Amino acid sequence: MYDYSLVFAQDLYNYAGRIPDPYNTPGRYSLWGVLYLWQGLPIWAHRLWNIVLLTLPSFVLAWALTRKLSDFILRNASFLWITAFFILLAPLHPPFMIVAIIVALFAFHPSPYVRGASLVAASLYAGISRWTWVFAPGAWGALIDLLLYYPKREGHWFKRLLPTILMAVLGAAPGFLSNIGNFLGYTSGEVTTAQQPLLWYRLLPNLTLGPGIVLLILLTTGPLVALLLYKIFSRQWKLDGFQQAAILGALTGFLAIGLVISTKIGGGGDLHNLDMYIGTLIVVIMLGLTGQPALSESKSPAWTLAALCFFALLPVYQFTPFFPSAAYHSRLDIPAQEDTDKALIQIRAAVEETAALGEVLFMDQRQLLTFGYMPKIPFVAEYEKKYMMDQAMASNEIYFQPYYQDLANQRFALIVTEPLKMDLKNEGGIFSEENDLWVTWVSAPTLCFYEPVMTDKSVGVQLLVPRKDLIGCENICNRCLLNFKYLIPRIARRFLPERIVRFLLLRSLVIQPGLETRDPQAAVQRYVDILTERGDSLAGKRVMVFGYGGRFDIGVGLLESGADSVVLCEKYAPPDDSHNRTLLPQYEAHLLLSGQLVRPRNERITLLEADIRDVKSADLAPVDLIISNSVYEHLDDVEGITRALAALTKPSGLHIHFVDLRDHFFKYPFEMLAYSKQTWYRWLNPSSNHNRYRVWEYRRVFESSFHNVELTVLQRNKTEFEKARPRIRPEFISGNLEDDTVELIRVVAARPKIS
């Protein structure tokens, strides 16, 4: 109830400034929060309003969808069934129901302008309620037009379809445009969503939701889908190809979206993430029944009647003696009044006592402040339980670092929370992954610095105060150290447009290029020296430069040093035409002018601008030598690319790769190892990609593709490693200091393993 007060009643809190809505969903919050316009209403009035919102929209939507059914029995039976379905069997979020009501109320209005206006209103409301709903009004508007109005139009098919397309745009574009930041992934809500893992097993039977999402949605809507398909393919509903494609496309699309969203951690406990699919299915069925003959005139087979009976009984089944949990519901499990009163007295006394000593954080139970059960103490807006849970499920390390700093500084004199547990379920219980992430990111760090002085499980409240003796909190303290000198440029580099990156790289401004670009002759000589040490040379060899960087210097340098032919391989960087043009006067034997561009002469130099994993030995003659410098650390598929390169190498061939394991913000060579996978790839990983492989991983990769591997460490940095070590994540530490401190390596691999 605290959340819903943020739209109309921020003055209830002793807070300077405006309390932010972390989810930016004023449509959802204002629906419940409208009662806060009448300040002073007791909490029971808001709870009653919650019940109204959970039930009344189902009645209104059922009436709006069934009011045009001609058969009295069918109309009333459908009304009762839809109402029971949405209240009892598949409760959907009230804001979503409001969106559907806005569309359904005007679905049968003869004016396309009125229908279009209603779709715009529905789309805007969906957009400010939950951005993932914005396409539903457009789909419904298109289906309504296709099934009710399109058949009455005459003329060319495109002319008949044009109003349908316009309805779809009116129903989708406003909500989409108002949420473009979410779709492009640069607003906070989308960032959190993108970082949260998908738990695909929840589609199947599991402990969180017994039958699993797939089986439950089949039980809930399967017979209705079968009835729909029967009506379509038996031609009882005479639909053309456009109508059939729209129906099946909308249903399958929303079903797929709902199934994917249901696997996101935090979901999979019910069917509410399939709301667009369920809503669309019922809209289509009701539109199809409009104008159909009376039940007494229907010639449907007996199985359709059985399906209808199944659907009629399904919503009430859970209230029959046959349902295993018919005698219990979690909403009935409420504490006794005397327990509630006792807990309120204890909480209020603790708040009054500690408020003079420091800040009081209501991580949970903020409604006690909303309705005046607590004194009007200075309000701490940060660290609200639901939002912290979202960040924990995303393993958002950056979000939690200020929290850990506040814990370490013992900023709060008192924390009011739900009882915190330290037990890990390890994928062995209901919502086990969510529990374990909450323990890891919230419970364990909080209980390290704070200790309980009161725990009341009957009302779900725990009071925490600072610990006097801190033991074993060093690792958490290390998480508190934010290196802003590193983070700010790293985040800027992460989101810097690639064209600017390329401009800076080629001019050695801020971003330093590799040796092939800085000093190509030195790069060639380095490979020549290694071959000489092995009693070999470039003479007569076919050489591939893997990741040459766009400048042809390295290619012509290899040819001038004795190589027979060169393959310049580069997937990402295009040829640097302005630089390569300066090479033409000196290397006309190897380069030519093609229009305004300088290109290699194909008989000596070959350009390969493709993903090496897609290149087959039949398409490219095998090579004697493959070389690279500071390329491997940027690969997104080290194993797959190494196998592909090995497959293009002659049995007697050789690989020479120089790999830089440092963070390429070279001032902090090991800082990148301090961040989780989610944080690194979402916020800090540069557009050039840095895979953060360590020396033992490169050793494993090359040994899996070559019989002979010589891995030489060229540089270690124990001093910088020790500085960063307290923050480095355990997956990047082997325990062997000789391996952990490696910065530069050279890999010489021979005798490829050809499968």
pLDDT digits (tens, 9 = 90+) for 269-288: 888 889 999 999 999 999 88
In three-state secondary structure terms, 519 is coil
Task: Please give the pLDDT value at position 724.
Answer: 86
pLDDT in tens, 410-460: 999 999 999 998 887 766 678 888 888 898 889 988 998 999 999 998 899
pLDDT in tens, 54-90: 999 999 999 999 998 888 888 888 888 888 888 877 7
Give me the DSSP letters along 324-362: TTTT--GGG----HHHHHHHHHHHHHHHHHHTTTSEEEE
CA dist 77 → 172, 231, 258, 313 (Å): 32, 19, 28, 12
pLDDT in tens, 294-326: 544 555 565 555 666 666 666 665 555 555 555
Question: Can you tell me the distance from the alpha carbon of 6 to that of 379, in angstroms, rounded to the nearest whole number?
Answer: 13
Question: Can you tell me the distance from the alpha carbon of 543 to that of 568, in angstroms, rounded to the nearest whole number?
Answer: 9
Whose tokens are 């002018």? That residue is 593
In three-state secondary structure terms, 465 is strand
Question: Can you tell me the distance from the alpha carbon of 318 to that of 323, in angstroms, rounded to the nearest whole number?
Answer: 5
Tokens of 577: 């035409």
Q: Which of 37, 25, 233, 253 is nearest to 136 (CA)?
A: 253
Q: Which of 472, 624, 635 is nearest to 538 (CA)?
A: 624
Contact 191, 23 (CB under 8 A): no
pLDDT in tens, 640-686: 999 999 999 999 999 999 999 999 888 899 999 988 887 888 888 98
Task: Please give the pLDDT value at position 190.
Answer: 45
Q: Residue 624: which H helix or E strand, with range? A: strand 623-629
* Other residues' Cβ atoms within 10 Å of the Cβ of residue 625: 22
CA 481 to chain centre: 26
Give me the DSSP letters along 704-736: HHEEEEEEEEEEE-HHHHHHHGGGS-GGG--S-
Q: What's the DSSP call for residue 377?
A: P
CA dist 133 → 122, 274, 470 (Å): 10, 11, 47
**pTM value surpassing 0.75:** no
Question: Can you tell me the distance from the alpha carbon of 160 to that of 749, in angstroms, rounded to the nearest whole number?
Answer: 66
| Per-block mean pLDDT, blocks of 10 residues, the chain (755 long) | 88 89 85 90 92 93 90 83 81 92 94 94 93 92 93 89 94 89 58 71 87 88 85 85 92 93 87 91 89 55 60 59 52 78 93 93 94 92 92 85 88 94 76 87 90 92 90 66 77 76 61 68 92 94 93 92 94 87 88 86 86 89 95 95 95 96 92 87 87 96 96 95 84 91 97 84
For 642, residues 6+ apart whose C-beta sits below 8 A from its C-beta are 701, 702, 704, 705
* Other residues' Cβ atoms within 10 Å of the Cβ of residue 85: 23
